[in-house]
């Protein structure tokens, strides 16, 4: 744990987080890991990912727990006028409002950025995440990770050459959008230092997914050929693929002639230097099946873990294929502080390593409404006001059925 006296990059920044599911919560967790105060405001029935299990810890799913540390939580019914007034009071000192309601919802509640928030809170950064945005042919339509993967072309280039279109096994659209949102918020904060003005960030899953279609969109734009699934092989580099050994499969990437020469040397195969099929990368790409057969015929004499380590020590990009348990238990994962534990909590650490202002774990993922009273008290609500809001169901400490 980092001592409280150590500064964090986002100390003093306040984020009001209305988002649910994955993209928004992942974004706010990144900001919270580095010192921002995150107030997670959930609708009366809660963030639905609390129920996305098994597995669970107490009443909350591992899915929810994985992206909601370093936050405090309260329940709030924004469908009521009183609930919206509570939110407006919370926004008085906020740096960021993060939300992923369907486009038009905030406007229908009288909380639109252009109509209300921009003038009332001129320094506020309002980040909205939606599937497709509010306008255009698909504007306003709902969008989940897999739907966006399908529409943005990800299915078409994932899987083996003869497989059906396949979803990536990670929610990479949602999490990639969360990363882009964190970048966008930090950019807006940096610009605000000069202008003093906030702004509206129109972030969509679709845009983020299209932007991540590299190198497939560039390849198509310059060749006219529609990219297809190539399994683990890279469309532009060879060797860059999985290879069988005497034990576990390993992955080897050799992106230039020097790396390929080193690979030949480590495999004891100098004769491949004279093979016209493998002289340059373009030759190796055009003859990748032959090259894979040649490499695998030599790797069959080696234990996978041993040869992968040997190749890495020689300066080559290579590594064994691990399952999730092996990743969690790997000594390098622990060396890099990518497993953190506190009480019952065990999760991946922050990948953002800052030397003077490191991120850390300050708050365990909150239960629903855990900090409702505490937050309202800090924002100047009287005890009588808090009791009245709770009695009316405007703010909540327990999920509504």
Q: How many CA atoms lie within 13 A of 93 on its CB side?
A: 9
Q: Residues 393, 44: contact at Cβ < 8 Å? A: yes
HSE-CB for 367 with a 13 A CA cutoff: 8
CA distances from 127 to 27, 186, 283, 378 (A): 11, 11, 47, 24
Q: Cα(254)–Cα(260) distance, rounded to whole angstroms? A: 6
Give buried/exposed letters for 353-362 (b at 16+ CB in 10 A, else e): eeeeebbbbb
Beta bridge partners of 88: none
Residues 168 and 149: their CA atoms lie apart, in Å, by 8
Q: Which of the residues 47, 60, 95, 174 is marked catalytic?
A: 174
Q: Please tell me whether the peptide bond between 41 and the residue prior to it is cis, using omega within 30 degrees of 0.
A: no
Q: Is 283 a catalytic residue?
A: no
Say how far apart CA 45 and CA 396 lie, in whole Å: 10
Catalytic residues: 174
């Amino acid at each position: 744990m980092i001592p409280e006296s150590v500064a964090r990059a986002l100390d003093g920044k306040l984020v009001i987080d209305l988002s649910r599911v994955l993209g928004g919560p992942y974004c706010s967790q990144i900001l919270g890991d580095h010192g921002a105060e995150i107030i997670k405001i959930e609708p009366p029935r809660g963030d639905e990912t609390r129920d996305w299990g098994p597995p669970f810890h107490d009443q909350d799913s591992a899915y929810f727990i994985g992206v909601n540390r370093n936050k405090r939580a309260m329940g709030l019914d924004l469908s009521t006028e009183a609930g919206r007034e509570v939110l407006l009071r919370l926004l008085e000192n906020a740096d960021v409002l993060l939300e992923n309601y369907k486009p038009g919802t905030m406007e229908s509640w009288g909380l639109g950025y252009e109509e209300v928030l921009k003038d009332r809170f001129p320094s506020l950064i309002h980040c909205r995440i939606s599937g497709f945005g509010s306008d255009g042919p698909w504007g306003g339509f709902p969008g989940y990770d897999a739907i966006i993967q399908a529409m943005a072309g990800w299915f078409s280039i994932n899987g083996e050459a003869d497989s059906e279109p396949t979803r990536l096994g990670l929610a990479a659209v949602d999490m990639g959008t969360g990363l882009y949102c964190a970048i966008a918020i930090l950019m807006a904060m940096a610009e605000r230092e000069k202008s003093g003005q906030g702004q509206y960030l129109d972030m969509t899953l679709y845009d983020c997914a299209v932007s991540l279609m590299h190198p497939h969109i560039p390849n198509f734009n310059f060749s006219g050929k529609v990219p297809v699934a190539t399994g683990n092989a890279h469309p532009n580099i060879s060797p860059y693929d999985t290879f069988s050994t005497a034990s576990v499969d390993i992955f080897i990437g050799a992106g230039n002639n020097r790396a390929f020469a080193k690979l030949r040397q480590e495999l004891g195969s100098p004769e491949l230097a004279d093979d016209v099929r493998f002289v340059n990368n373009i030759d190796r790409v055009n003859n990748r099946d032959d090259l894979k057969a040649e490499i695998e015929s030599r790797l069959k004499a080696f234990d996978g873990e041993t040869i992968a380590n040997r190749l890495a020590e020689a300066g080559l990009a290579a590594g064994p294929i691990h399952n999730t348990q092996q990743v969690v238990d790997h000594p390098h994962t622990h060396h890099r502080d990518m497993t953190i534990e506190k009480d019952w909590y065990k999760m991946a650490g922050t990948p953002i390593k800052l030397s003077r202002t490191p991120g850390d774990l300050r708050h365990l993922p909150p239960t629903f409404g855990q900090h409702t009273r505490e937050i309202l008290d800090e924002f100047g609500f009287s005890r009588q006001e808090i009791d009245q809001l709770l009695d009316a169901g405007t703010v909540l400490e327990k999920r509504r059925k």
